[in-house]
Amino acid sequence: MKFFVDTADVDAIRELHALGMVDGVTTNPSLILKSGRDILEVTKEICSFVEGPVSAEVVALTADEMIAEGRKLAEIAPNIAVKVPLTWDGLKTCKVLSGEGKMVNVTLCFSANQALIAAKAGATFISPFIGRLDDINMDGMDLIADIRQIYDNYGFDTQILAASVRSANHVTQCALVGADVMTAPPAVIKALASHPLTDKGLEQFMKDWAKTGQKIL
C-alpha cells in the first residue's frame, strides 16, 4: 500500500520523505489555510522533492471554472493530481482533464455508487473518507471493501485512496481490505511505529545495560 501524506507542511513532508515514507502528498483548501502559504508556491515546493503524485484541489464549483483551475494547477509540475469534488460538475471536469492526460483525484466520496461513476469518468484516484463516515456511525472500512470489490469485478484502473484516516488502526484495516493508497497526517504515520510493549521492552533493556557498566562508544 502506498503512503500519501495529508498536509501542506513542507518540513513535515521532508522528514517523512527522508525515511522513504512518502509515495505522494494530498492537500486541500483547509490544509493550505493551515500552512499560511500561497497554494501555487507551496505546491511547487512540495513537487520539487516529492516524486509521486501531489494532489492540489480546485475551489470552483462549475465545470468550466474547475477545468480552468485544474489546468492552471497542472502547470505547476508533471506529478500534479488535480483534485476535484465528487459532484456532477466535478465528474465533468474529471472526464475532460483525464482525457488530456492529467491525473485526477476525485475527493469527498461517501458511497460505492459515487466511486463507480468516478471510475467511469476516468478518475486516477478515488478518495473515500473513512473517518467522516465513522463520525456518523457508519463503517468507513465497509465502503473501502465495497469499492475494492466493484473495481476488481470490472477491472477499473482507478486507485482507491483511503482518506480521512485518523488512526494506526485505520491504516491496518486499509491494508487488509486492499486500498491502493492511504493518505494520513504526519502524526498518524509516525504513530505506526509506536507500541507500548516496544516501549516497555526498551526500558528494560536500558536498565539492564546500565547494570553492565559497559559503553559501546
The verdict on whether 34 is a catalytic residue reads no
Q: Which of 2, 44, 72, 83 is catalytic?
A: 83
Task: Give the CA distances from residue 151 to residues 22, 36, 119, 126, in Å, rounded to whole numbers and listed in that order.
Answer: 25, 38, 8, 11
C-alpha cell at 106: 476525485
DSSP letters along the chain, please? -EEEEE---HHHHHHHHHTT--SEEE--HHHHHHHTS-HHHHHHHHHTT--S-EEEE---SSHHHHHHHHHHHHTS-TTEEEEEESSHHHHHHHHHHHHTT-EEEEEEE-SHHHHHHHHHTT-SEEEEBHHHHHHTT--HHHHHHHHHHHHHHHT---EEEEBS--SHHHHHHHHHHT-SEEEE-HHHHHHTT--HHHHHHHHHHHHHHHHHT----
Q: Could you tell me which of 87, 23, 33, 95 has the C-alpha nearest to residue 55?
A: 23
In angstroms, rounded to a whole number, what is the distance separating the alpha carbons of residues 28 and 93? 17
Catalytic residues: 83
